[in-house]
Amino acid sequence: MIRRAILKALAIPGHQIPFGAREMPLPYGWGTGGIAVTAAILGPRDVLKVIDQGADDTTNAVSIRRFFARVAGIATTTRTAEASVIQTRHRIPERPLQEGQVMVFQVPMPEPLFRLEPRLAETRRLHALGDYALAQLRLYEDIAQQGEAGSAYNHPVMVAGRYLMSPSPIPGFDNPKLHMSPAIMLFGAGREKKIYAVPPWTEVRSLDFDDHPFAPVHAAQGCAFCGSTASYKDEIVADDAGGRVFVCSDTDACREGQE
């Protein structure tokens, strides 16, 4: 059932496919949709990496990795280069993904229009008509009132020129990584019971205007560990005197940078 939903999702890029999400041994909100998708696609030779906030050692990433090691007897890794399936919450790894790799995103709210129109019966109609005026209007108002787009993360994307899609709550910084990626991108929303996908080599454009192109914010400083200025950073409060340290959010990329 889940595999059928995944195939359907890959056939209609960016379109949300309802599926009968089952209760998982982990709570809704902890990545049940991602876990369902990962469980449906893992094969015996797969190597699984799980990240949360870009890091392999955050508690929920540890918990999900342990869960699959226990119930699926699967090989796990923290190295992006070695992984065939990468389940993630809120980040896309810095290292460019390769053909054959699958990203599985944990999605809280699959509907990109939900803040503008909470009724699913209505958003379904808007998607069918390709009517995204609400989202464009919101973007226009943000730019007119505050000079730039208001969404810093979960900024909606147009997939293959047809469906508006939530990229999940990844920072805008990661949105461009979805565009023409050689990897398969699968999105699982357990509580909302939807699966959607971006097949490899698919056009994914962040919603913007010609005269106000999408411009995600980058950290002002390099990483305190590896020195990278290209990566997405966590801002760590270092002391009570306003001291800040910036470190890579992607712990594997940072390790590679330090070596």
Residues tagged active-site: 14, 223, 226, 248, 254
Q: Coil, helix or strand for 78?
A: coil
Tell whether residue 90 is a contact of another protein (CB under 8 A).
Answer: yes
Tell whether residue 96 is a contact of another protein (CB under 8 A).
Answer: no
CB of 70 to another protein, least distance (A): 13
The residues facing 186 across adjacent strands are 104, 197
Q: Which of residues 47-66 bind another protein (CB under 8 A)?
A: 52-54, 57-63, 66
* C-alpha–C-alpha distance, residues 226 and 247, integer Å: 8
The residues facing 159 across adjacent strands are 163, 204
> CB-wise, 29 or 96, nearer to another protein?
29
Tell whether residue 213 is a contact of another protein (CB under 8 A).
Answer: no
Give the position of tokens 């900024």: 155
CB atoms within 10 A of CB 38: 26
Report whether 99 contacts 183 (CB < 8 A): yes
Tell whether residue 214 is a contact of another protein (CB under 8 A).
Answer: no
CB of 100 to another protein, least distance (A): 26
Tell whether residue 28 is a contact of another protein (CB under 8 A).
Answer: yes
Report whether 35 contacts 52 (CB < 8 A): no
The residues facing 204 across adjacent strands are 159
Burial of 198 (0-12, 13-18, 19+ CB in 10 A): buried
Tell whether residue 199 is a contact of another protein (CB under 8 A).
Answer: no
Taking CB under 8 A as the criterion, the residue among 43, 147, 213, 242 binding another protein is: 147
Taking CB under 8 A as the criterion, the residue among 34, 169, 188, 199 binding another protein is: 169
CB of 28 to another protein, least distance (A): 3
